[in-house]
Chains A and B, each alone.
Chain A
Amino acid sequence: MDLRKLTAEQIRADLLQRRYSAVELAQAALEFAERENPKTNAYLHFCPERALEAARRVDEKIARGEDPGLLAGVPTAVKDVILTKGVRTTCASRLLQDFIPPYDATAVARLEAAGAVIIGKTNCDEFAMGSSNENSAFGPVRNPLDPERVPGGSSGGSAAAVAQGTAVVALGSDTGGSIRQPAAFCGVVGVTPTYGRVSRYGLTAFASSLDHIGPLSRTVRDSARVLQVIAGRDPRDSTSAFAPVPDYLAALNGNVRGLKIGLPKEYFEGLSDEVGRPLQEGVRLLESLGCTVHEISLPTTPYAIPCYYIICTAEASSNLARYDGVRYTIRSQQATDIIEMYAATRGEGFGAECKRRIMLGTYVLSAGYYDAYYLKAQKVRTLIARDFAQAFQQVDLIVTPVSPFPAFKLGEKIDDPLQMYLSDIYTITGDLAGIPCMSVPCGRTRDGLPVGMQILANHFQEALMLRLADAFERAGGFQL
């Protein structure tokens, strides 16, 4: 077996035909991942016991003639902001370096119930804050396609693991593009479902109203398969949706003829040729598949970045308050009273980006500033969502770039937070509007770096979005 080429579908077929056992596959995957990891630092830790236990359950089911599940035996990586019972979950933060959760995230429990084999926890930006994976307390992740370059962030480890083939699928989290941007940088598929489609229970909160869990994989079909498993109402998450989960795999029927694709002009104005050229070819490929292309406008786009960075930092400042040295975090030994304990623990524990966002968020929520910042940002958010709602009255799906530039070099933007924030410019609107969106590989730059095409759909239209992506993939869009 070549782990780098396996898909979930193939694994399931192989297991059912007894070509190998789930335990054999898990062992091979663990061995391969541990060997490859020094090249990328994609994984923070592995969980061989848990993986082999899950694999054994799959083998037993197959032996008993039971359905081993949609993701039977699939080597899976989980971003380290998603809780795994008994397996260290650090959020790539010093503060949680020793945190062993007492419970599983709903998405994790659902993956394992469907036969997935979680082999390890992936590196990311600390508390998912960042766009390059350089904000990890445990070292940056390197892009498997070019070790001098970043894999994107914050789900950089998950994207790198899938790209390097050490995991077949991975879970990431997306607040402002943290699944799609690294997927684009690493040349894999990444899906951010509708807000509420996948339970956030057990996802360490960064910005609660923007946080999503979603899949990364090498094929659209595998992402559809993972989404099928993790989507659906969870009584533990009040914001999870009751809407029934359609059969995503059945939706991948290649039938995209006549679909109206909107290209928002605001996303293409001033786009570099480097990213623009492969995208244009991608759009031409969509037309050749029978889609019609329409220029549309999303006029509130320029306000998205300030709006996003007010809302996400405000929520983050509150969500990160719990890491205070009282429970489960590390505690500074430099303190003599409680105020000092808070200050020293948080001062030593948080990295620069977290501190920056906590300060920004604290500021925008302060008495006297709330109306000018937070409240205003919420109103802008409503307008951005309205832009999309109006656009989806004209078109079925929207196609845009994922990032203004391909994977950049480590250290290139780390000293310029504003430049770093601008790398989210095309991805944050989908999160703000709460609509599903995804990144699919769309050719390469002249330097051979992968480019991502973003597809956005109306609320709960994941099936349609995945259908277009799948048809694009099958038509050779990835290799343009």
Chain B
Amino acid sequence: MSTSTQSLVSPEVLARYEAVIGLEVHVQLATRTKIFCRCPTSFGDPPNTNVCPVCLGMPGALPVMNKRAVELAIQAALALNCRVNSFSRMARKNYFYPDLPKGYQISQYELPLAEHGWLEIEVDGVTKRIGITRLHLEEDAGKSLHEGFKDSDRYTYVDLNRCGIPLIEIVSEPDMRSSAEAYAYLTKLKQILQYIEVSTCDMEKGHLRCDANVSVRPKGSTKFGTKTEVKNLNSFRFLQMALDYEIARQVAILEAGGTIEQETRLFNPETGQTAGMRSKEFAHDYRYFPEPDLLPLRISQEWLEQLQARMPELPDQKRQRFIEQYGLREYDARVLTMTRPLADYFERVAQASGNPVESAKWVQGELLGALNEAGKEITESPIPPEHLAELVRLIDSGQLTGKLAKEIFPKMFASGEPPSVIMEREGLRQISDPAELERLIDEILAESPKQLEQYRKGKTGVFGYFMGQLMKRTRGQANPQVATEILQKKLGQPT
């Protein structure tokens, strides 16, 4: 909890209330072209270069629905357990804004693409189902640039590259009771949409945008309090910060005997606070009506089935499969299925090595640690899965000790070479030849009469000293099992 929140209301007071939160999330669909024209959806191009008469809202230009956008939206709906409507319509949402060239946004209103879905979140070990009210298709607007130009004091500049980028809006039920649940919901939503490759969900590029409806009520109450809409929650951290602040603010007002005003509030990341917007700015009557330029969307059962069949494995399914098929622990399976590239990476290591449990340890421990340190994603791993699998096989076959493997790993990470090449070059291998080990042990025993004496008197702990000496002499390459057997035989039973 931030200090600004604590100053509003004490944790004890806060604990007597519960929050009621619903999220509206806008997600950019991963299509190559825009929703109603053939302009590219690429990011970061010079302003007003990815535009045409259609997305510029020129007189006479007409929208044509991008079928791929509909497919991706349907896949998202299916992954979120929604009922996809066989008949839905696009609608015009009318309002004036300089970055909205037609004076209306083509969206959906009365008949959305899909409804009645849900997803499952887990917070503090408790699983909870969050309802999804609706999922609909719409186009993005352009971008108003209020600063950065030498006459920005007098003019606003408009970039319409983003105009007509396909979006889905996913509206949740007011089922979340804390900022942690909201965080978990958004995390899960992002994970699912990335898994099925419906969106890259890159928040920095605005591919995932979130608004929240928040109200509070005394614990035990079933009545909803007055809600506020909090906008500009464009990172996971901001979401949690803004919700914590807004919840505390509302509780403080109620505690002081006040009432909550229904309004739209903007989160300011610099202060960590939300502030009311002038209500005039949002007093819109959007005058929705069915879009006459587009035919209704008719989605056949056959098309739905095709898309369902093409649907990749979802994160929860994959986690369950990893537990059952590879014998992973719940926690490990959860970590390894966090993203689809990570899960795919692990699976390739597991299959190539034949030892999933050991593979899981290496991917989760050494590899993720090294990637994290290097600031790299799994997709940028310098170690291909085949190399890591080879390392696991070398350990399993006794050619490498765990200790040696850990020495080789950073070299694999640095050079991108397979472990065998590094072992060859550096003369690293496990010494399992009994004759060689016996010779080394004899030397050690001859040099350590004092320790030998102690051992014989019953101080069995000294056994470790001899092994340590052996490992030191072999730079850790002695096969510990073979060495133990020889040493035990040499030392005999203590008297």
B494 at the interface (CB under 8 A from A): no
Residue of B nearest to A210 (CB): B292
B residues near A326, Cβ cutoff 8 Å: 98, 101, 158
A423 at the interface (CB under 8 A from B): no
Are A105 and B60 closer than 8 Å at their CB atoms? Answer: yes
B residues near A322, Cβ cutoff 8 Å: 57, 59, 101-103
Are A238 and B293 closer than 8 Å at their CB atoms? Answer: yes
C-alpha spacing A101/B293, complex, angstroms? 20
B residues near A37, Cβ cutoff 8 Å: none
Are A235 and B102 closer than 8 Å at their CB atoms? Answer: no
B residues near A75, Cβ cutoff 8 Å: none
A374 at the interface (CB under 8 A from B): yes
B residues near A91, Cβ cutoff 8 Å: 59
Q: Which of A98-123 contact B (CB under 8 A)?
A: 99, 101-103, 105
B56, B61, B62, B294 — which one has the most chain A CB atoms within 10 A of its CB? B62
Are B293 and A235 closer than 8 Å at their CB atoms? Answer: no
A372 at the interface (CB under 8 A from B): no
B58 at the interface (CB under 8 A from A): yes
Are A238 and B63 closer than 8 Å at their CB atoms? Answer: yes
C-alpha spacing A236/B65, complex, angstroms? 10
Are B96 and A239 closer than 8 Å at their CB atoms? Answer: no
- Chain B nearest CB: distance from A156 CB in Å? 20
B60, B61, B65, B101 — which one has the most chain A CB atoms within 10 A of its CB? B60
* Given contact pairs A238-B63, A238-B294, A321-B94, A103 touches B58 in the complex (Cβ within 8 A): yes
Are A201 and B62 closer than 8 Å at their CB atoms? Answer: yes
Q: Which of A297-321 contact B (CB under 8 A)?
A: 314-315, 317-318, 320-321
* Given contact pairs A101-B59, A103-B58, A322-B102, A238 touches B65 in the complex (Cβ within 8 A): yes
B421 at the interface (CB under 8 A from A): no
A residues near B58, Cβ cutoff 8 Å: 83, 101-103, 328
How many inter-chain contacts with C-beta < 8 Å in the A-B complex? 100
C-alpha spacing A96/B94, complex, angstroms? 21
A390 at the interface (CB under 8 A from B): no
Interface size on B, residues (CB 8 A): 29
Residue of B nearest to A326 (CB): B98
C-alpha spacing A342/B95, complex, angstroms? 12
Residue of A nearest to B36 (CB): A238
B289 at the interface (CB under 8 A from A): yes
A479 at the interface (CB under 8 A from B): no
B residues near A101, Cβ cutoff 8 Å: 53, 58-60
A residues near B265, Cβ cutoff 8 Å: none
B residues near A67, Cβ cutoff 8 Å: none
Are B98 and A318 closer than 8 Å at their CB atoms? Answer: no
B residues near A204, Cβ cutoff 8 Å: 59-60
A residues near B63, Cβ cutoff 8 Å: 238
C-alpha spacing A237/B288, complex, angstroms? 22
A27 at the interface (CB under 8 A from B): no
A residues near B98, Cβ cutoff 8 Å: 324, 326, 338
Are B287 and A366 closer than 8 Å at their CB atoms? Answer: yes
* Given contact pairs A103-B58, A326-B98, A318 touches B289 in the complex (Cβ within 8 A): yes
Q: Which of B375-405 contact A (CB under 8 A)?
A: none
C-alpha spacing A238/B92, complex, angstroms? 16
A171 at the interface (CB under 8 A from B): no
Are B292 and A315 closer than 8 Å at their CB atoms? Answer: yes
Are A321 and B96 closer than 8 Å at their CB atoms? Answer: yes
A208 at the interface (CB under 8 A from B): yes
* Given contact pairs A238-B64, A318-B103, A326-B158, A205 touches B295 in the complex (Cβ within 8 A): no
B104 at the interface (CB under 8 A from A): yes
Are A365 and B94 closer than 8 Å at their CB atoms? Answer: yes
Are B64 and A236 closer than 8 Å at their CB atoms? Answer: yes
C-alpha spacing A320/B96, complex, angstroms? 11
B residues near A105, Cβ cutoff 8 Å: 60
Partner of B60, one of A205, A314, A366: A205
- Chain A nearest CB: distance from B329 CB in Å? 53
Are B59 and A314 closer than 8 Å at their CB atoms? Answer: no
* Given contact pairs A201-B60, A203-B60, A238-B62, A362 touches B96 in the complex (Cβ within 8 A): no
Residue of B nearest to A235 (CB): B64
C-alpha spacing A377/B437, complex, angstroms? 97
What 0/1 readout, one digit per residue, does chain A (174-218) give for beta carbons within 8 Å of chain B? Answer: 000000000000000000000000001111110111000000000
Q: Which of A64-105 contact B (CB under 8 A)?
A: 82-83, 89, 91, 96, 99, 101-103, 105
* Given contact pairs A318-B94, A322-B102, A202 touches B60 in the complex (Cβ within 8 A): yes
- Chain A nearest CB: distance from B146 CB in Å? 11
A327 at the interface (CB under 8 A from B): yes
C-alpha spacing A105/B53, complex, angstroms? 11
A residues near B300, Cβ cutoff 8 Å: none
Are A321 and B102 closer than 8 Å at their CB atoms? Answer: yes
C-alpha spacing A318/B101, complex, angstroms? 12
B285 at the interface (CB under 8 A from A): yes
A367 at the interface (CB under 8 A from B): yes
A residues near B6, Cβ cutoff 8 Å: none
Are B287 and A362 closer than 8 Å at their CB atoms? Answer: yes
- Chain A nearest CB: distance from B42 CB in Å? 21
A residues near B351, Cβ cutoff 8 Å: none
Residue of B nearest to A342 (CB): B96
Are A327 and B59 closer than 8 Å at their CB atoms? Answer: no
C-alpha spacing A313/B98, complex, angstroms? 23
C-alpha spacing A321/B58, complex, angstroms? 12
B53, B96, B289 — which one has the most chain A CB atoms within 10 A of its CB? B289
A408 at the interface (CB under 8 A from B): no
B residues near A201, Cβ cutoff 8 Å: 60-62
Are B289 and A370 closer than 8 Å at their CB atoms? Answer: yes
* Given contact pairs A83-B59, A99-B59, A321 touches B104 in the complex (Cβ within 8 A): yes
- Chain B nearest CB: distance from A365 CB in Å? 4
Partner of B56, one of A200, A318, A327: A327
What 0/1 readout, one digit per residue, does chain B (176-203) give for beta carbons within 8 Å of chain A? Answer: 0000000000000000000000000000
Are B101 and A327 closer than 8 Å at their CB atoms? Answer: yes
C-alpha spacing A282/B61, complex, angstroms? 41
What 0/1 readout, one digit per residue, does chain B (61-97) give for beta carbons within 8 Å of chain A? Answer: 1111100000000000000000000000000101010
C-alpha spacing A19/B445, complex, angstroms? 122
Q: Which of B277-326 contact A (CB under 8 A)?
A: 285, 287-289, 292-295
Are B53 and A318 closer than 8 Å at their CB atoms? Answer: no
B460 at the interface (CB under 8 A from A): no
C-alpha spacing A202/B293, complex, angstroms? 13
Are A321 and B103 closer than 8 Å at their CB atoms? Answer: yes
- Chain A nearest CB: distance from B437 CB in Å? 78
A residues near B94, Cβ cutoff 8 Å: 317-318, 321, 365
- Chain B nearest CB: distance from A348 CB in Å? 16
C-alpha spacing A226/B274, complex, angstroms? 62
Residue of B nearest to A209 (CB): B292
* Given contact pairs A318-B103, A321-B103, A239 touches B293 in the complex (Cβ within 8 A): yes
Q: Which residues of A contact B (CB under 8 A)?
A: 82-83, 89, 91, 96, 99, 101-103, 105, 200-205, 207-209, 235-239, 314-315, 317-318, 320-322, 324, 326-328, 338, 342, 362, 365-367, 370, 374
Closest 7 pairs (CB-CB, A-B): A321-B103, A365-B287, A208-B292, A209-B292, A204-B59, A202-B60, A83-B60
* Known contacts A103-B53, A374-B289; 8 further A-B pairs (Cβ under 8 A): A91-B59, A200-B62, A205-B293, A237-B62, A318-B104, A321-B94, A366-B285, A370-B287
Q: Can you list 19 pairs linking A and B with CB atoms under 8 Å apart? A: A83-B58, A83-B59, A89-B59, A101-B58, A202-B60, A203-B60, A204-B59, A205-B59, A205-B60, A205-B293, A208-B293, A236-B62, A238-B65, A239-B295, A321-B96, A327-B56, A327-B101, A328-B59, A370-B289
